[in-house]
Amino acid sequence: MMRLIHELALYEKAPNEVVATEQTLLSHGFGENPLFVSWVAELDGHIVGMALCYIRYSTWKGPILYLEDLVVTESHRSKGIGKLLFEKCLDYAKTQGYPRMIWQVLDWNQPAIEFYKQYQASFDAKWLNAYIDF
């Protein structure tokens, strides 16, 4: 999974932004109180795709599923792997009774935008992302 996370950071032009480690993922996602759920796509014993989600709380909607990352290694794109992972997330949200799944996509990532349009996704132009790093 870390290899894919680094590949995504490079694709998104932020290779030096990754500070999480394999140990971070193991302790936060696979420990006693996991902070996220994830799925991987494996081919010939190698992980070629992943989706990582967590529960976010909306005062208007209640718990919703937030898709943090959906990534397929470049050599395996356009083969239906992203579709399978995305639909796994959608199915999970529905079976858990969440009224919404949300995610972000960079405005220049046209292949991803076109992928999400296939699902009649809504794109919100009214909200700006804000954050503070510590």
Domain at 2-117, CATH homologous superfamily? Gcn5-related N-acetyltransferase (GNAT) (3.40.630.30)
What secondary structure does DSSP assign to 87-113, as a single string?
A: HHHHHHHHHTT-S-EEE---TT-HHHH
Q: How many CA atoms lie within 13 A of 56 on its CB side?
A: 15
3-state secondary structure of 18: coil
Q: Which amino acid is at 108?
A: W
Active site residues: 116
- The single residue listed with the structure tokens 């919100």 is 124
What secondary structure does DSSP assign to 29-92, as a single string?
A: HSSSS-S-EEEEEEETTEEEEEEEEEEEEETTTEEEEEEEEEEE-GGGTTSSHHHHHHHHHHHH
**Which pLDDT does position 131 carry in this prediction?**
84
**Which pLDDT does position 127 carry in this prediction?**
87
Give phi and psi for 46, each to the nearest 5: -120, 140
* Regions of the chain where pLDDT drops below 70: none
Q: How far apart are CA 34 and CA 46, in angstroms?
A: 24
Please, what's the b/e burial string for 12-24 (b: 16 or more CB within 10 A of its CB; e: otherwise)? eeeeeeeeeeeee
**Which pLDDT does position 133 carry in this prediction?**
78
